[in-house]
Amino acid sequence: MEDLINGRCGWCGNDELYIKYHDEEWGKPVTDDKTLFEFLTLESAQAGLSWITILRKREGYRKAFHNFDVQKVAEMTAEDVERLMQFDGIVRNRLKIKAAIHNAKLFIEIQKEFGSFYNYTLSFFRIKSL
């Protein structure tokens, strides 16, 4: 029970950004493909870093990656990668930037095959009858 503080998980502590994320987003089902792409991009950027670091750069990611418009991100070029390597609003890691672009292309392919990325995620939970 000591992990709960004022009805919240203890990990968000007193940080206003963490509290807002906890109360409004954490643990809530997401069915919208745009939001799923946003989280895929942010989670990929988070590798090796704390989540609060990424939350603090979230607005920068929105600017850098066309408000998470998957089609626009998929069309980004090597020149965009170089531009983003100079942009302070995100984690400036070449592999993570390139991964976001590559993931956008794969995301679109998955949408084509399954009708939506959300449908793809559901495919992991479908139980096949015997």
CA 72 from centre of chain: 16
Q: For residue 47, which amino acid is it?
A: A
Residues recognised as catalytic: 21, 43, 51
Using only C-alpha atoms, the chain has a radius of gyration, in whole angstroms, of 17
Quick one: residue 48, left, alpha or beta (phi over 0 = left, psi -120 to 50 = alpha)? left
Q: Which residues pair with residue 31 across a beta bridge?
A: none
Neighbours of 32 (CB within 10 A): 11
Number of Cβ within 10 Å of residue 45's Cβ equals: 22
Please list the residues that pair with 9 across neighbouring strands.
4
